[in-house]
Structure 1
Amino acid sequence: MKTAHKIRAARMIYHAIHAGRTLLGRSDHEIVLRDGIKYDLNLSEGIDLGIYLGNFYERQTGSALSKLVAPASLVLDIGANIGAHTLHLARLVGPAGRVLAFEPTDFAFRKLRRNLDLNPSLASRVELFHYFLTADDGVSVPNAIYSSWPLVAEDGLHAKHLGREMKTDMAQARSLDGILSEHADRKVQLVKLDVDGFECDVLRGASSLLRDTRPIFVMELAPYALEERGASLDQLLSYFLPNGYVIYDERTHKRLPSAAKELQELVTGGESMNVIARVP
Structure 2
Amino acid sequence: MNNAHMPAPPLLPPPIAPGSILSLDELRGPDRYRTECISRAATQALYLGDHTVLSRILGRYKAYLDTRDRGFAAHVMLDGYWEIWLTQFIARLIAPGMHVADVGANFGYYSLLMADLIGPSGRLLAVEPNPPVVEMLQRTLDLNGFTSRTTVVAAAAGSGEGEGRLLVPPGEPKNATLVGGGAGGDEASRVSVPIHSLDALLADFPRVDFLKIDAEGAEEDIVLGLSETISRWRPRIILEFNPGRCRHPGELLALLRASYPALQCLGFDALVTPVSDADLLDPTNHEDRLLYLDGAASV
Letter in 2 for 1:36: R
Pair 1:215-2:238 in alignment:
no
1:127 maps to what in 2? Answer: 151
For residue 17 of structure 1, what is the aligned residue in structure 2? Answer: none
Deviation at 1:168, TM superposition (A): 3.6
Gaps of 5+ in 2: 1-44, 174-184
Q: CA–CA distance in 1 between the matches of 2:196 and 2:50? A: 38
1:211 deviates by 1.6
Residue 73 of structure 2 is matched in structure 1 by 48
Q: 1:147 to 1:76 in 2, by over 3 A?
A: farther
User: Is 1:238 aligned to 2:260, yes or no?
Assistant: no
Q: How far 1:150 moved relative to its partner?
A: 4.2
Amino acid at match of 1:241: R
Corresponding residue for 1:140?
163
Give the match's secondary structure for 2:199: helix
Task: Check the 8 A contact 1:105/1:147 in 2, yes or no.
Answer: no
The one-letter amino acid paired with 2:194 is Q
Percent identity between the aligned chains?
23
Matched, 1:74 2:89: no
More helix by share: 1
**Counterpart-to-counterpart distance in 1, 2:139 and 2:252:** 33
Q: Contact 2:65–2:107 (CA<8 Å) still a contact in 1?
A: no
- TM-score (normalised: structure 1): 0.75
Q: Which runs of 5+ in 1 are unaligned?
A: 1-20, 152-162
- Alignment partner for residue 125 of structure 2, among 76, 100, 103? 100
What RMSD over aligned residues (CA atoms) do the two structures have, in Å?
2.7
Letter in 1 for 2:202: L
- The number of aligned residues is 233
Q: Hey, what does 1:262 align to over in structure 2?
A: 279
Kept in 1: contact 2:219–2:240 (CA 8 A)? no
SS at 1:32's partner residue?
Answer: strand
* Aligned equivalent of 2:198: 176
Larger Rg: 2
Give how far 1:225 is off: 2.3
Is the CA contact (8 Å cut-off) linking 1:221 and 1:275 kept in structure 2? yes
Shift of 1:145: 3.5
The answer to whether the 8 A contact 1:199-1:236 is kept is no
Q: Distance in 2 between matches of 1:267 and 1:52?
A: 34
Go from structure 1 to structure 2 and tell me whether the alpha carbon gap of 1:172 and 1:189 turns closer, same or farther (over 3 Å shift): same
Task: Please give the per-residue CA displacement for 1:248-280, whole angstroms capped at 9, x wherever unaligned.
Answer: 2212311111x2x332229722x2122311121
